[in-house]
Structure 1
């Protein structure tokens, strides 16, 4: 791989068994950008740019890792979410674009003055940290069962210079979680992938990303949604809001469950791909 063009050709050839051509192209661009410091436009405009021996060597190493199915974000050790940089590693899920849409929905729904927000199952901290970054007057807390995830999230908060209160807790044992005051917003992107879904997923997700953050029993796909909704009924202020990222196959079931627990103004929203992907609802105890 002597030039940028050589790298594109080699990566495309070696990655197409794993990824479609467009995705292979996007991965190659990202890797070359990372190694050379060039923008996407510059890489496309100057394909004959020569690579150093060190860059070629690094490209070969990364290509070998990619061929095992390891996600590029784990190989590079970071990704971008809502314009911010986040460390990612096998303790945490890689943030997805549809989760950015969920965060955008929360921001547009959140009225100042200061509000009290809790993110349940925070992983890398991408939701909680972004909300604190965008809603500076908010008080933001985040829960996760994984110590490794919380350590990653704490580093991400420090790197993005925001203050988030991280709590080690299991939401399935939510009766043990005691908060100082009630919440205005609860948000969660909990585990929702069933065995059926798993069979249709790319191995770079199923083989590398943390299973506790992904999978639920086939016979109880709303396990975490039920627990979080029950927790919300006791911990949301009147007129508080609950936001979920959901499994597109269980939109109606999730709405029904929330209805049964007396949530109000339930709204199902599609993501940019047109899939039922997120829910917002309100709470009123009266």
Structure 2
């Protein structure tokens, strides 16, 4: 006994309609179809008689139930794409966001290739899946990339991702809040640290709140800039002359971030909005 894929597709989308809009549910269907059966949308369009076996239906029904529980599809598939690269993801790391791709794009676009073979040293603080560090290592000529995270499990995932994408990144387990000096100079320091305040939890979707690591998401309401302040202090000591500091920031704290970097004597401070029009990225020069 087998089931036509086109018929199951209709059922799949209908069962998710209470949680996701039809377009999102359909995108889930085709992502899973390509991963589990190596079929694309065009294959189904060209052959409407393609079928699932009973065993395949059991797998799909299991995934469907997990999607109903709002487990992110990236975790169910165990991977996602970021800046044109593939990354393994799991419950130990945040799922990379499109806004973070914009930060990477800014760094790459802002960066000019040196006229000699001098290595450009880059540090990513709070690397998680390694998405920022690995995308920069892949796209900046002569980059020597280092990445710090407090989570041993996150670093294990990041190391796998560096291998998947064939780049060399030096990963370091370190609690940045307990670090007084980074021990070397860098040309670029970048960080997407925890920045969601507890008071903003109600704005976070259930699939994120229930599944992604809170350690990488949240900060206390009374000191929302704790990571930014510490990283900026380290940047003062450990950025080379004219070195650049890049941050992804809380959209509600753009003004406070500008004031923080101004007080710490950073130059050429620039605040940029993301594709959704939110204050999201910041750069300062030491």
Work out the CA distance in 2 between the residues paired with 1:115 and 1:49: 52
Match of 2:182 in 1: 178
Match of 1:12 in 2: 13
TM score, norm. by length of structure 2: 0.93
Match of 2:130 in 1: 125
Could you list the runs of 5+ residues in structure 1 that have no partner in the other structure? none
Q: Is the 8 A contact 1:29 1:43 kept in 2?
A: no
Instruction: Choose which of 140, 161, 167 in structure 1 pairs with 2:166.
Output: 161
Question: After superposition, what is the alpha-carbon deviation per residue over 1:155-193, rounded to whole angstroms, capped at 9, x for unaligned?
Answer: 111121111000111111120x432x3111010110011
CA RMSD in angstroms comes to 1.6
Match of 2:91 in 1: 90
Work out the CA distance in 1 between the residues paired with 2:239 and 2:23: 44
Structure with greater strand share of residues: 2
Could you list the runs of 5+ residues in structure 2 that have no partner in the other structure? none
TM score, norm. by length of structure 1: 0.93
Change in Cα spacing, 1:197 to 1:4, as seen in structure 2 (3 Å) is farther
Q: Is the 8 A contact 1:102 1:278 kept in 2?
A: yes
Match of 1:209 in 2: 212
Shift, 1:102, TM fit: 0.7
Instruction: Choose which of 230, 234, 238 in structure 1 pairs with 2:237.
Output: 234
Shift, 1:239, TM fit: 0.9
Is the counterpart of residue 199 in structure 1 residue 202 in structure 2?
A: yes
Change in Cα spacing, 1:195 to 1:16, as seen in structure 2 (3 Å) is farther
Q: Which is further off, 140-149 or 190-199?
A: 190-199
Work out the CA distance in 2 between the residues paired with 1:44 and 1:272: 32
Secondary structure of the equivalent of 1:132?
helix
Shift, 1:130, TM fit: 1.0
**Matched ranges for 1:75-154 at <5 A:** 75-113=76-114, 114-154=119-159
Match of 1:256 in 2: 259
Question: After superposition, what is the alpha-carbon deviation per residue over 1:221-257, rounded to whole angstroms, capped at 9, x for unaligned?
Answer: 1111111111111111111111111111111111111
**Could you list the runs of 4 or more consecutive aligned residues of structure 1 that deviate by over 3 angstroms after TM superposition?**
40-48
Change in Cα spacing, 1:7 to 1:255, as seen in structure 2 (3 Å) is farther
Secondary structure of the equivalent of 1:2?
strand
Is the counterpart of residue 189 in structure 1 residue 192 in structure 2?
A: yes
